[in-house]
């Protein structure tokens, strides 16, 4: 039974130390908080939860101390409980001071923002005028770009018409070339046929001439050399 009590006491002490450190970390976060109030409220909610858990563990440790059989161990644990309670009270004091410091900082920040409100309004007015001027400049630039694009489209259309006309001219020339090619081929065929016929005529003339000469030679031979 004493062994289980010792384990419970150790667990309680470990949890108390853990919650104490977590509370201190949250208090430091509150000191560093610069707003808004919703952030401060959220941090305070977390601190309350940790304090509740810490208080519960200290009560458990106090109950364990009262259940100790030995008076010396009982008094030692009660002294630890008292130290933990003092530490918790110190943390609560630090918590209140951190809240006060944070709220003062948030109030000062809000006052500074209110004082600078006029400057912000003037800056907004200047910004609006600048935006209006910039918008006008952009509009003019867009109109200029639109005109340039219109001119480019018109030039592209003219170039397209020129290409179409050139294509038609090329097609017409191609048809003429085809026609001329047919005429040339026909002329070539006629010339070839004529050359063949001329060759045939020359050959016939040559044969006729040879026959004529042979006949003349035969007649001359008969008259001049009858005995042959």
Tens of pLDDT, residues 10-30: 999 999 999 999 999 999 999
Q: How confident is the model at residue 209 (pLDDT cuts 50, 70, 90)?
A: confident
The pLDDT tens digits for 131-145 are 667 667 777 766 766
**Per-residue confidence at 77, pLDDT binned at 50, 70, 90?**
very high
Mean pLDDT of 199-203: 82
Asked if 99 and 44 touch (Cβ cutoff 8 Å), the reply is: yes
pTM: 0.49
Token pair of 99 as six digits: 């809240």
pLDDT beyond 60 at 1 = no
What is the average per-residue pLDDT within 68-72? 88
Spatial separation of the C-alpha atoms in residues 120 and 118, rounded to whole Å? 5
| Mean pLDDT of the chain, nearest integer | 82
Position with higher pLDDT, 75 vs 161: 75
pLDDT in tens, 147-195: 766 676 576 677 667 666 766 776 776 676 677 777 778 777 877 776 7
pLDDT at 123: 66
> Is pLDDT above 80 for 51?
yes
Q: Check residue 183 and give its pLDDT.
A: 74
Residues 6+ apart with CB under 8 A from 228: 221
- Average pLDDT of span 89-112: 92
Would residue 33 be called left, alpha or beta, if left means φ above 0 and alpha means ψ between -120 and 50 degrees? beta
């Amino acid at each position: 039974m004493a062994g289980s009590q010792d384990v419970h006491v150790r667990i309680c002490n470990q949890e108390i130390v853990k919650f104490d450190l977590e509370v201190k970390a949250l208090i430091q976060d509150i000191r560093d908080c610069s707003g808004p109030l919703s952030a401060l409220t959220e941090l305070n909610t977390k601190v309350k939860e940790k304090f509740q858990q810490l208080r519960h563990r200290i009560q458990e440790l106090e109950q364990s101390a009262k259940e100790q059989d030995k008076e010396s161990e009982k008094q030692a644990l009660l002294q630890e409980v008292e130290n933990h309670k003092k530490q918790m009270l110190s943390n609560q004091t630090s918590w209140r001071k951190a809240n006060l410091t944070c709220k003062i900082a948030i109030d000062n920040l809000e006052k500074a923002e209110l004082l600078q409100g006029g400057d912000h309004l003037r800056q907004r007015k200047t910004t609006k005028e600048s935006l209006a001027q910039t918008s006008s400049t952009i509009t003019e630039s867009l109109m200029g770009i639109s005109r340039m694009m219109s001119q480019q489209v018109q030039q592209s259309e003219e170039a397209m018409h020129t290409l179409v006309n050139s294509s038609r001219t090329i097609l017409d020339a191609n048809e003429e070339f085809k026609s001329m090619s047919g005429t040339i081929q026909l002329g070539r065929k006629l010339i070839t046929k004529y050359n063949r016929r001329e060759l045939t005529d020359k050959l016939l003339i040559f044969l006729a001439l040879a026959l004529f000469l042979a006949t003349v030679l035969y007649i001359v031979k008969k008259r001049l050399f009858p005995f042959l």
